Amino acid sequence: MPSVVCMVVDDTPALAVEGLTKRHGSGAGAVDALVGVDLTFARGTFTAIMGPSGSGKSTFLACVAGLERPTSGRVLLEGTDVTGWDETRRTRMRRDRIGFVFQDFSLIPYLTAQENVALPAKLAGRRAEKQAVQLALARVGLASRAEHLPSALSGGQQQRVAIARALVAQPAVMLADEPTGALDSATAREVLRLLRSAVDELGQTTVMVTHDPLAASYADKVVFLVDGRVAGKMAAPSVDAVAAQLAHLDQLVGAGR
């Protein structure tokens, strides 16, 4: 539990990137996926990242999570520069400080729902607290499915297990890459409500990449990327406003080529 003093004084953002640049390949065939991106994500906020296909959204998440090493720039996780960390340290950071939700659910097929949720702790060599695991599953409405293997769960249920897994360790940030991309709209709404409630009730800082204006409307703020650059921001996004902005951005990309 953070003390009151701590909460007042400590306004370090949960996540910040400075001049983040990522170049894939080299020479004539090089692709600049990110070009000098500066962004700050305050604690307890829910940010959506949007942009045309190929604009660098997934690359951004990968760099933040330490899956890829940025070409230049810095990634600050709760004020700590993690950019230069070696593979092992970044892996530990991912396990202990970051919660991940992927489009393809990324559950381990031979582990039950509760074992999947307990996996990061298990990998860290900690005994996962049974209660915390149960609580996380209950939070996503799957307490009764704890013993099921992923193959016995629907897509929406699998994604909710993945969210429980991301939340259980109370990570500094939760990263979600098109978490509703593989779901129908009703199930997607359920998942989005869960993400929203994690932000509101647990103060979970969340960054979500999405193509869907509806999904983005659940966030506090939308950041638009085009060709690896920040092309705009929108607070309190509505579905219509986001859709209009996206259509505009698509024109920008077309004009740029």
Partner 1 sequence: MKALAVRSLRHRYPAAVATFIAALLGTAMMASFATLVESAFSAHEDDRELLIIMGGVVGGWSTVIVLFSIASTVGIVAEQRVREAGLLRTIGATPKQVRALIVYEAMVVTLFAAAAGVVVALAGGPALFDALQRGNLITSASSYDASLASPSMAAGVVVVVGTVAAWISSRRATRGAATFSLRQAEVPVRRLRWWRILLGALLIASGLASAIVTITVTGKATDAYAAMQTSGSASIVAGVGLAALAPWLLRVLATPLRPLLSGSGSGHLAVQNLTRRAGVLAGMLAPVIVFVSTAVGTLLMVGIDDRTLAAAGDPEGVGDTIAMINAVVIGMISLFSLIMVVNATVAVVVHRRPELDRLWRLGATARQLRTSVVLEAVVVAVLGIGLGLLGAMATAVPYSVVRHEGLVPNGQLWLPPFISAVAVIVTAGAAWGAQRRAAR
Ligand X SMILES: Nc1ncnc2c1ncn2[C@@H]1O[C@H](COP(=O)(O)OP(=O)(O)OP(=O)(O)O)[C@@H](O)[C@H]1O
Q: Residue 256 in 3-state DSSP? A: helix
- Told to check if 156 binds partner 1 by CB under 8 A, we report no
Torsion-angle region of residue 79: left (phi > 0), alpha (psi -120 to 50) or beta? left
Q: Which is nearer to partner 1, 21 or 106 (CB)?
A: 106
Residues 37-76 that bind partner 1 (CB under 8 A): 65, 67
- Told to check if 104 binds ligand X by CB under 6 A, we report no
Binds ligand X (CB under 6 A): choice among 24, 126, 193, 233: 24
65, two tokens: 């999570």
Q: Which is nearer to partner 1, 36 or 155 (CB)?
A: 155
- Told to check if 47 binds Mg ion by CB under 5 A, we report no
Q: Which is nearer to Mg ion, 45 or 58 (CB)?
A: 58
> Cα dihedral sign for 134, 111, 155, 189?
positive
Q: Which residue has the tokens 């800082």?
A: 205
Q: Residue 170 in 3-state DSSP? A: coil
Q: Which is nearer to ligand X, 153 or 188 (CB)?
A: 188
In contact, 43 and 202? CB cutoff 8 Å: no
- Told to check if 120 binds partner 1 by CB under 8 A, we report yes
- Told to check if 58 binds Mg ion by CB under 5 A, we report yes
* 214-235 residues labelled b (16+ CB within 10 A) or e (exposed): ebbbbbbbbbbbbbbebbeebe
- Of how many residues is the chain composed? 257
Binds partner 1 (CB under 8 A): choice among 42, 103, 123, 234: 123
Binds partner 1 (CB under 8 A): choice among 30, 31, 124, 244: 124
Q: Quote the least distance from Cβ 67 to ligand X, whole Å.
A: 11
Binding span for partner 1 by CB under 8 A among 111-119, 202-210, 215-223, 230-238: 111-119
Q: Where are the alpha helices (DSSP H) in the chain?
A: 4-9, 57-64, 87-97, 113-123, 130-139, 155-168, 185-202, 213-216, 239-256
Binding span for Mg ion by CB under 5 A among 15-23, 28-36, 54-62, 249-257: 54-62
What whole-number distance in Å separates Cα of residue 256 and Cα of residue 243?
Answer: 20
Residues 45-64 that bind ligand X (CB under 6 A): 51, 53-59
Instruction: State the residues that interact with ligand X by CB under 6 A.
Output: 24-25, 31, 33, 51, 53-59
Instruction: State the residues that interact with Mg ion by CB under 5 A.
Output: 58
